[in-house]
Structure 1
Amino acid sequence: MSTPNETIPGRLFKQAERRPDAPAHHVKSGGVYRPKSYRELADEVKRLGKAMIALGQKPGFTTCILGFNKSEWVAFDVATMAVGGAPAGIYTTCSPEEVAYIVHHAESEIVLLEDGGQWAKIEKMLGELPRLKHVVTMRGAPRIDHPMVVSYEAFLDKGNDVSDVDFFARIDALEPQGLATLIYTSGTTGPPKGVMLSHENLAWTADAAQKLVGGNAQDSVLSYLPLSHIAEQMFTIHGCITMGAAAYFAEGIDKVPDNLKEVQPTLFFGVPRIWEKFYAGVQGKLKEAKGAKKALVAWAMDVARDATAERMRGREPRGALGLQYKLAQRLVFSKLKAAIGLSRARTCVSGAAPVSKEILEFFASLDIIVSEVYGQSEDTGPTTFNRTNNTKLGTVGTKLDGVEVKIGEDGEILVKGPNVFLGYYKEQQATADTLVDGWLHSGDLGQFDKDGFLSITGRKKEIIITAGGKNIAPKNIEAALKNHPPIAEAVVIGDRRKFLTALVVIDPAAAGELAGAPGADLAKLREDPSVVAAVQKAVDSVNSTLARVETVKKFHILDRAFTIESGELTPTLKLKRRVVHDHYASEIDRMYEGANDA
């Protein structure tokens, strides 16, 4: 029997008992952020849990949640866990068919959703969801006239006749190894699989995360990345509840820049594309600086490079450097960081996909150390982490304390520890293939350096095997190409071919500058001679660092960016190579015409 403090729901009620009036959530209402206390959140979770009990949900049930990050998302998630169920988040970008697949696969009788748009997906597929009984709309959603649909407030009232004793008996009965949540992977290869995480997985990893970032009850986060992803859950739900910190909910993905400036969180998590957008925006502003201001910024950036290099080795800048660093912070960085919303950020994290070393170095020159984390849903988020005081840019850090990480004979990263998942929901063979003798087979290829820092060298399933039998990891080549403007995205091709080629997406701002045509669309820019020449120069530069068999012989510039809507990116912005290959099969074939490559 576990004690309440060993589960995330138990920790919530401990926080409500110890610090009832402390803010748990901040929700935008009437143009301002309004706090919701830990007492109020715990009471809401209790009422939701009682409603689930009243509707006959027995331990082992599941619920699904479909909507943008809101306080109700978190409350419903924790309430499901509290009464012995497992919540499953669904990405808001999922199609009706994908939504129905997850609701059906999870066998959920209750779904919480955001609005009429998400209800339309469910309504379209109702004929394929015989188990679904109750649909709950989040606060503020328009009334939906359907016998299955109830408002959030009406759902809260359904448990009024269930006693507190019955509710807390459910929490007390939770087992550390019991199923706590389902994380449906975004499916770069086939249908999504339900990653089963236990109560111990969540509680142990939240403790580890707190230690890694030195988290405390004064911390705050901005919740904006999909809550169906384990990394955002760890920040918004499990980490905040464990630390007693506060989560601010962004008004929408388009409002993140504004909300970030308002909130100025102490902990900030972004996927690489978020950092790339910051990078492009800040660079654009810095280019506008002239004269003395330009010289001041250049001086401050030089000082920050030296100072952050010291800090990343666990040393504080001293002497002349220390004095210059304090001056640079006061004159430049205090204003610059406030302008992007990171003036109070003690720890900034990048994860979910590889980020360019050049971008990390740029932020270090702005006195912002971005800590890259590596992991996956199957180990509750983190495997390795670049601690602020022990960072090596270009690596994904050192392993978490209490976790074993080793490199297999074929270069695959293997993980064992309290954060490793229970298996895939209703997928015995997939579980057996991934979990071998307690070791999680990550599917990623990597290597440790002499100091214990891990570098990711590729993805096992993405290895290109050329017609000549050479094994090539495309990720590093693609990352190197992306370091050269105007290349924004690159996909290396070459499986069963005699040589490598690349599909290239260009950045419209950088390409427009080269072409002297700001605002032009990609279809025009891709044909501009100066843009083509810049891409060729980038390819030549990268090729000069590679073995001959790894060099890119030809490239094709695409007329649009990859998108989630077109199916080329997952909701977490990972590339779906198979889809890209299918969409651009004729363009790929043209690069090999007359080459007799097959």
Structure 2
Amino acid sequence: MTTPNDTIPSRLFKQAERRPDAPAHHIKSGGVYRPKSYRELADEVKRLGKAMIALGQKPGFTVCILGFNRSEWVAFDVAAMAAGGAPAGIYTTCSPEEVAYIVHHAESEIVLVENASQWAKIEKMLGELPHLKQVVTMRDAPHIDHPLVVSYEAFLDKGKDVSDADFFARIAALEPQGLATLIYTSGTTGPPKGVMLSHQNLVWTSDTSQTLVGGTAQDCVLSYLPLSHIAEQIFSIHGSITMGGAVYFAENIDKVPDNLKEVQPTLFFGVPRIWEKFHAGVQGKLKEATGAKKALVEWAMDIAREATAVKMRGGQPAGALGLQYKLAQKLVFTKLKSAIGMSRARTCVCGAAPVSKEILEFFASLDIIVSEVYGQSEDTGPTTFNRTNKTKLGTVGTTLDGIEVKIAEDGEILVKGPNVFLGYYKEPQATADTLVDGWLHSGDLGQFDKDGFLSITGRKKEIIITAGGKNIAPKNIEAALKNHPPIAEAVVIGDRRKYLTALVVLDPAAAGELAGAPGADLAKLREDPAVVAAVQKAVDSVNSTLARVETVKKFHITDRPFTIENGELTPTLKLKRRVVYDRYAREIDRMYEGAQDA
């Protein structure tokens, strides 16, 4: 079935026409991954879309999806778009109140939930959801006896009296500038806003992403980061359908390391904390090497640093370096990369938050080039990208072809192009504040170097203005502190204060090693003299590189990490500064008792 308009749903049905038996999804069942073909996925999407039509959903409707990454998540998402609606994903970590806010704000009449625990969030808030008509549970969920709830199979059958012609007419009627999906921002401040993305936004970004990574139908990804986030959607939904590649769904977040080893994806996307965990795990294993094995690994890493530096400039290792590089791959990297699930990874990407240059350099020494990407939901994910053959570590790459990026007088990054969103759902003032004359005001501060590589220097709203009137971006100071063990996280404070201070979260493994007490909790480790001395040394080291007004004068070590559950991190692991400031107000105030001018 062909359609006149180029949309993600129409691309799915074209894939099903051209390559009906090719695997679209791989689902873990009975201990093994089992394929679902493009024909099967397209048929499921059609049945779901027809069910939505049968329930009276007119073009412009919305649905919500609440659950971990599953094939049903993707099918429901694409079906809603196909039927002329807009799906909105909800993070599984959201509270009942947060779930109800999004379902009510989107005015969704249909919600797909993964299981009984996610349904319980909706059930608790039913009194605040007057629009809700149907809740659908994903496959294998236990039976829920409630008049609103139906099983996935029962929902699929609801559209049996709707004709295929009526369904495909909905796809044919989709407009490029029409609303395709809602991405509810995880909200570092205030309630989430619904980012409206058009069909053109999705297809243009998918095409651009395919070009950037050289994607083909032979590529595969592991889907594990929240599908509510646009970056994961590009990888697991829109981009994969565009390429005709295959998506493997992780069993759950704890199984990701095991699933990676099974799948060995060709394309891999991770947020900084994922790469930081990889770094800690691999570094821990490398430290165990001794004697000749240690010498071999160190030699191979030195060779990889040289070789990847050549590759990042667009060349290929040749001559003696080329021979040594091949030998290092054979003796060390083939086995090492296979052990962490990266043996086939052609393109590795890091985005959604800042990552330290040292982490990227470490992976380059393992023959893994991690391409940092910069963007936001409001421009469908990417603004700039470090291409594998045009990479400068410590920057977020160069501007995507086909869009404009400029730096405003106050340093803010502005974006214009076919990836820029339609606005915020039912938020005209917020839209007017963010979209000015077609330019997306990102809220991020940045600068281009002479080669066109962009560096992020901070957030406009996170700028610290000291009591002395100095403007300071905390991000770079925090990133520098995190590069020193045993600091895992740092939050710099100082707005309207006389000097800067920091809240420091310890890395349990590094702190435990310093204290000679592996496994000890953070409340005990933060009191250990060796740990405190190491943190002080780290602060002194960072301070030595800063202007006097930027130096951290005092610090407080927390007794636990920041978490999503405690409200200090968003579901995409971004820091909620206001929550942290409020939660540690007493400790912060103590650091300023008897304060003298900086």
Same fold (TM over 0.5): yes
- Alpha-carbon separation, structure 2, partners of 1:105 and 1:518: 47
Stretches of structure 2 that go unaligned for 5 or more consecutive residues are none
2:9 is matched with which residue?
9
2:104 is matched with which residue?
104
Structure 1 residues 39-90: Cα deviation after superposition (integer angstroms, max 9, x where no partner): 0000000000000000000000000000000000000000000010000000
Stretches of structure 1 that go unaligned for 5 or more consecutive residues are none
- Alpha-carbon separation, structure 2, partners of 1:91 and 1:424: 18
The residue type equivalent to 2:442 in the other structure is: S
1:233 is matched with which residue?
233
1:387 is matched with which residue?
387
CA RMSD of aligned residues (A): 0.9
Contact preservation (8 Å) 1:379, 1:421: yes
- Alpha-carbon separation, structure 2, partners of 1:4 and 1:464: 51
The residue type equivalent to 2:523 in the other structure is: A
2:439 is matched with which residue?
439
Structure 1 residues 118-145: Cα deviation after superposition (integer angstroms, max 9, x where no partner): 0000000000001000000000100000
Give SS of 2:286's match. Answer: helix
Give SS of 2:324's match. Answer: helix
Q: How does 1:44-63 map to 2 (within 5 A)?
A: 44-63=44-63
Contact preservation (8 Å) 2:48, 2:156: yes
Contact preservation (8 Å) 2:5, 2:172: no
The residue type equivalent to 1:553 in the other structure is: K
2:319 is matched with which residue?
319
Does residue 252 of structure 2 align to residue 252 of structure 1?
yes
Give SS of 2:442's match. Answer: strand
Contact preservation (8 Å) 1:501, 1:553: yes
Structure 1 residues 397-425: Cα deviation after superposition (integer angstroms, max 9, x where no partner): 00100010000000000000000000000
Give SS of 2:108's match. Answer: coil
2:302 is matched with which residue?
302
- Alpha-carbon separation, structure 1, partners of 2:162 and 2:248: 31
Contact preservation (8 Å) 1:5, 1:11: no
2:80 is matched with which residue?
80
Give SS of 2:60's match. Answer: coil
Does residue 114 of structure 2 align to residue 123 of structure 1?
no
Give SS of 2:406's match. Answer: strand
- Alpha-carbon separation, structure 2, partners of 1:597 and 1:245: 59
1:485 is matched with which residue?
485
1:133 is matched with which residue?
133
2:354 is matched with which residue?
354
Does residue 32 of structure 2 align to residue 43 of structure 1?
no
Deviation at 1:347, TM superposition (A): 0.2
1:151 is matched with which residue?
151
Contact preservation (8 Å) 1:497, 1:597: no
Contact preservation (8 Å) 1:4, 1:11: no
2:525 is matched with which residue?
525
2:582 is matched with which residue?
582
Q: How does 1:441-590 map to 2 (within 5 A)?
A: 441-590=441-590
Deviating beyond 4 angstroms after TM superposition, the runs of 4 or more aligned structure 1 residues are 2-5
Contact preservation (8 Å) 1:5, 1:14: no
Deviation at 1:594, TM superposition (A): 1.1
- Alpha-carbon separation, structure 1, partners of 2:60 and 2:479: 43
Deviation at 1:189, TM superposition (A): 1.0
Does residue 28 of structure 2 align to residue 28 of structure 1?
yes
Give SS of 2:58's match. Answer: coil
Deviation at 1:596, TM superposition (A): 5.7
Structure 1 residues 267-291: Cα deviation after superposition (integer angstroms, max 9, x where no partner): 0000000000000000000000011
- Alpha-carbon separation, structure 1, partners of 2:116 and 2:51: 23
1:243 is matched with which residue?
243
- Alpha-carbon separation, structure 2, partners of 1:330 and 1:178: 51
Give SS of 2:289's match. Answer: coil
Deviation at 1:597, TM superposition (A): 6.7
Deviation at 1:595, TM superposition (A): 1.1
Structure 1 residues 230-274: Cα deviation after superposition (integer angstroms, max 9, x where no partner): 000000000000000000000000000000000000000000000
Structure 1 residues 548-581: Cα deviation after superposition (integer angstroms, max 9, x where no partner): 0000000000000000000000000000000000
Contact preservation (8 Å) 2:5, 2:174: no
- Alpha-carbon separation, structure 1, partners of 2:565 and 2:55: 36
1:290 is matched with which residue?
290
TM-score, reference length from structure 2: 0.99
- Alpha-carbon separation, structure 1, partners of 2:559 and 2:350: 29
- Alpha-carbon separation, structure 1, partners of 2:374 and 2:366: 23
Deviation at 1:468, TM superposition (A): 0.5
Structure 1 residues 336-386: Cα deviation after superposition (integer angstroms, max 9, x where no partner): 000000000000000000001000000000000000000000000000000
Query: Cα–Cα, structure 1 residues 336 and 5, in superposed 2: closer, same or farther, change >3 Å?
Result: farther
Contact preservation (8 Å) 1:26, 1:246: yes
Give SS of 1:127's match. Answer: helix
Give SS of 2:446's match. Answer: strand
- Alpha-carbon separation, structure 2, partners of 1:595 and 1:57: 62
The residue type equivalent to 2:467 in the other structure is: A
1:336 is matched with which residue?
336
The residue type equivalent to 1:506 in the other structure is: L
- Alpha-carbon separation, structure 2, partners of 1:72 and 1:517: 45
Deviation at 1:3, TM superposition (A): 4.6
- Equivalent residues, number: 597
Contact preservation (8 Å) 1:182, 1:194: yes
Give SS of 1:6's match. Answer: coil
Give SS of 1:154's match. Answer: helix
- Alpha-carbon separation, structure 2, partners of 1:468 and 1:80: 54
The residue type equivalent to 1:309 in the other structure is: A
